[in-house]
């Protein structure tokens, strides 16, 4: 009987980070453990030198790059360089995982509908760089995290997954953010699994 060899088609992603990349590490672990068997991390990039996110990716044997914001004359030039660099990996999706820089129109147009962001609040509440701090300061009793398709706005675009996290009376920004990140990692991995399975089914 002939053996039918179904070639596995992996979904290629580029992950962008600005900091420690602990959420990214969860994705790397999930790929290595076979939980995201059809996801290929083509590269990890950062907007500045010396991030732990890039270091830990290199240690995991993943290709890395830095498009250093400070090396460019203006935002448009930096945005162009970042767009070209990401395009060079021909990714199916680009993931902003703690990437703290707003990308411009050229980037959004190049990755229209395929640029995914995670945010540590229940959007549309508390967008921006301090989603955890702002939720605490407002005094809401429940916050959470959001995985969404990013458009040209700040933390706007169609929501893919969201989950609530309760704020405890003695929470600090740090303790709350750590609890949110535990959920954020799970949602990001679940989102990637959904997208990869859809892509595989479409082939
Ligand atoms: C995440 O909560 C992300 O949503 C926010 O920054 C955090 C990234 O943390 N913008 P890490 O770099 O993955 O540890």
DSSP secondary structure, 26-57, as one string: HHHHHHHTTTTTTEEEEEEEESSTT-HHHHHH
Asked whether residue 24 is assigned to any structural domain, the reply reads yes
Beta strands at 11-17 and 93-96: parallel, antiparallel or unpaired: parallel
CA-closest residue to ligand 1 atom 14: 22
Residue 1: inside a domain: no
Evaluate: CB of 19 within 6 angstroms of ligand 1: yes
In short, whether 119's Cβ falls inside 6 Å of ligand 1 is: yes
**Number of domains forming the structure of the chain:** 1
Report the residue count for the chain.
203
Which are the contacts of 181, defined by CB distance < 8 A and separation ≥ 6? 22, 23, 120, 145
Query: Distance (Å, rounded) from C-alpha 63 to C-alpha 20?
Result: 17
**pLDDT tens-digit readout, 75-125:** 999 999 999 999 999 999 999 999 999 999 999 999 999 999 999 999 999
Average pLDDT for the chain? 94
CA dist., res. 45 & res. 96, Å (int): 10
Residue 4 lies in a domain: no
First to last CA, the chain: 24
* Angle 42-44-8 from CA coordinates, rounded to 5°: 20
**Whole-prediction pTM:** 0.94
Report if residue 5 sits inside a domain. Answer: no
Q: Whose CA is nearest to atom 5 of ligand 1?
A: 98
Within a domain: residue 87?
yes
More confident residue, 9 or 202: 202
Choosing from 15, 20, 23 the residue with most ligand 1 atoms within 8 A of its CB, the one to mutate for a pocket test is 23
Number of C-beta neighbours around residue 142 at 10 A:
11
23 CB near ligand 1 (under 6 Å): yes
Which residue CA neighbors atom 8 of ligand 1 most closely? 98
Asked whether residue 1 carries a pLDDT value surpassing 50, the answer given is: no
119 is catalytic: yes
Our answer on whether the CB atom of 184 is closer than 6 Å to any ligand 1 atom is yes
Mean pLDDT of 22-34: 96
Range of the domain at 176: 11-202
Whether 184 maps to a domain, the answer reads yes
**Residue 142 included in any domain:** yes
Cα 161 off chain centre by: 13
**Which CATH number goes with the domain that contains 68?**
3.40.50.170
pLDDT digits (tens, 9 = 90+) for 142-175: 999 999 999 999 999 999 999 999 999 999 999 9
């Amino acid at each position: 009987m002939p053996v039918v060899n179904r070639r596995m088609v992996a979904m290629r992603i580029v992950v962008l980070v600005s900091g420690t990349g602990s959420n990214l590490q969860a994705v790397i672990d999930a790929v290595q453990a076979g939980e995201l068997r059809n996801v290929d991390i083509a590269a990890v990039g950062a907007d500045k030198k010396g991030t732990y996110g890039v270091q830990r990716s290199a240690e995991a044997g993943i290709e890395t790059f830095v498009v250093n914001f400070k090396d460019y004359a203006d935002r448009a030039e930096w945005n162009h360089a970042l767009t070209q660099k990401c395009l060079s990996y021909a990714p199916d999706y680009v993931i902003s995982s703690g990437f703290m820089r707003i990308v411009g129109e050229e980037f959004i147009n190049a990755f229209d509908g395929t640029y995914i962001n995670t945010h540590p609040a229940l959007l549309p509440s508390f967008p921006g760089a301090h989603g955890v701090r702002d939720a605490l300061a407002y005094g809401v009793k429940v916050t959470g995290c959001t995985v969404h398709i990013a458009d040209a706005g700040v933390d706007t675009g169609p929501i893919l997954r969201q989950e609530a996290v309760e704020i405890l009376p003695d929470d600090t920004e740090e303790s709350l953010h750590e609890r949110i990140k535990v959920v954020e990692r799970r949602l990001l991995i679940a989102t990637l699994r959904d997208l990869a399975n859809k892509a595989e089914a479409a082939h």
